[in-house]
Homo-oligomer: A and B are copies of this chain.
Amino acid sequence: MSLATATSPGSGKRALTKKANRQAILDAASKVFARDGYEVASIRDIIRETSLASGTFYNYFKSKEEIFETIAAESAKRFQPRLKIISSQATDLASYFRAAYAAYFDFLVEENDVTISNGGPHRAMIGVRIDTPEIKAISDQIRSDIENVLRITGPKHLDAGYLTAAAIGIARQMGDLMLSRRPLEPEVAAAFASRLMLAGIKDFAKHV
Q: B-contacting residues of A (Cβ < 8 Å)?
A: 38-39, 65, 68-69, 124-132, 159, 161-162, 165-166, 168-174, 176-177, 189, 192-193, 195-200, 202-204
Contact = CB atoms under 8 A, between A and B. Distances in A.
A159 B65 contact: no
A130 B129 CA distance: 11
A153 to B, nearest CB: 16
A172 B169 contact: yes
Given A129-B127, A131-B125, A166 B193 contact: yes
Nearest to A204: B195
A159 B162 CA distance: 24
Nearest to A168: B173
Nearest to A132: B125
A5 B174 CA distance: 53
Given A68-B126, A166-B170, A166-B173, 15 more contacts: A65-B124, A125-B130, A125-B131, A125-B132, A126-B130, A129-B129, A162-B192, A165-B176, A166-B169, A166-B174, A168-B173, A170-B170, A196-B196, A196-B197, A199-B199
A193 B169 CA distance: 11
Contacts of A204: 195-196, 199
A125 B166 contact: no
A192 B171 CA distance: 18
Nearest to A206: B199
